[in-house]
Amino acid sequence: MRSMLTLCAATIGAFSLSCDVMAQVQTSERSALLNALSDCRAMTDSAARLDCFDRTADALDTAERQGELVVMERQQIREARRQLFGFSAPALPALFSRGGDGADREPEVDSVETTLLSAGQDHEGKWTFRLADGSEWRQIDSAPVRFQNRNGTDVRVRRASLGSYLLTAGKSRAVRVKRQ
């Protein structure tokens, strides 16, 4: 009974900690440097405004070179989301959003289509699939899978229920997998 209470308390503590981290990431405000840049536009004196823009641009450049500020284009964000597809980390989606009402957010990645590099079975008969995008997926169900194990076979991995993923190789049935 006591170990059950300890387990429940630990679970609740871990859940609340992850919720706090998510809330902090999602509600973080704009960078102070970006706010300073916006403030420069409000100046009416041309010389002061130019001086403000020069100082702020220099500070932004320095922060970017020192790794304190990262600027990403939407295409880079899409590619990062695609590469992270299948990994379970609750705070990752918030890192690539702008917060607010979500009107300009990129859609979540629900599936990835690529090709098979190789596949092999372990001693339990479960498959490991190595894909052209560099990802590796391991079968987690125990149903037998029949497919053409050929380099270049089309593969689709899609998000399924309860945080699981389904992989289809060629015209085979879908197999439940986990990212390695």
Per domain, the residue ranges of the chain are: 31-71, 73-109, 111-179
Q: Show the tokens assigned to 76.
A: 């880079």
pTM above 0.85, yes or no: no
Q: What is the mean pLDDT of residues 66-72?
A: 81
* CB of 63 closer than 8 Å to CB of 69: yes
Better-predicted residue by pLDDT, 140 or 7: 140
Shortest CA distance to 145 belongs to which of 117, 166, 114, 115? Answer: 166
Q: How sure is the predictor about 101, in pLDDT bands with cuts at 50, 70 and 90?
A: low
CA–CA gap between residue 155 and residue 135 (Å, rounded): 12
User: Using 50, 70 and 90 to split pLDDT, how confident is the model at 169?
Assistant: very high
Beta bridge partners of 168: 156
User: Do 157 and 165 contact (CB within 8 A), yes or no?
Assistant: yes
Q: What percent of the chain has pLDDT over 70?
A: 69
- Exposure of 169 by Cβ count < 10 A (0-12 exposed, 13-18 middle, 19+ buried)? buried
Q: State the chain's mean pLDDT as an integer.
A: 76
Per-residue pLDDT of 18-58, as tens digits, reads 444 444 444 456 788 888 888 999 999 999 999 999 999 99
